[in-house]
Amino acid sequence: MAPGTIRTARETDLPDIVAIYNASIPGRLATADTEPVTVAQRADWFRSFDPSSRPLWVLEEGGEVRAWLSLRSFYGRPAYHRTVEMAVYVASEYQRRGYAGRLLAHALEAAPGLGIATLLAFVFAHNGPSVDLFMRHGFAGWGRLPRVAELDGVERDLLILGRRL
């Protein structure tokens, strides 16, 4: 198991969260954003999280945020109140060390207490490491949206991965 402490994100973590996210953009694997975002642009996004129902967690080690995971309401309609969309990002220099798996296991353990019954992840089909991560944690392929994203002139499929608790 990867070391470190998982905790609720604090606003002072936002620069690290944004830096980790921005570092994922050039690889064209993890996000459909094509340009970096700023801390100011993410301030309202950060404040939208609620630790009691839709948390944003960080994995911290040695005083440094190395990874984060978010749970967001799916689709914004009342009937989906027990379904969340999750995202997980790991600082590039700490990938493949088990941090994402630790965060994902933490989310799965915490989900029932947060009133969550269904977890979804939207992952590019060409992002093998992320697809493998979710599959190892009991997610299954629930859908494929063919060629819905265009990254650097290349059309990409988006997978819907899901797990019912």
- In which residue are the tokens 């109140």 written? 81
Sign of CA dihedral 83, 54, 114, 16: positive
- The CA distance from 123 to 5, in Å, is 26
CATH fold of 5-120, please? Aminopeptidase (3.40.630)
Q: What is the pLDDT of residue 27?
A: 87
Count CB neighbours of 76 within 10 A. 7
- Least Cα distance to 53 among 80, 84, 17, 78 occurs for 84
| pLDDT tens digits along 34-91 | 999 999 999 999 999 999 999 999 999 999 999 999 999 999 899 999 999 999 999 9
Per DSSP bridges, beta strands 64-73 and 154-164 are: unpaired
pLDDT over threshold 70, residue 140 = yes
Cβ neighbors of 100 (< 8 A, separation 6 or more) are: 67, 69, 88, 90, 130, 133
- Least Cα distance to 31 among 94, 118, 123 occurs for 123
Which phi and psi angles does 94 have, rounded to 5°?
Answer: -120, 10
Q: What is the pLDDT of residue 1?
A: 60
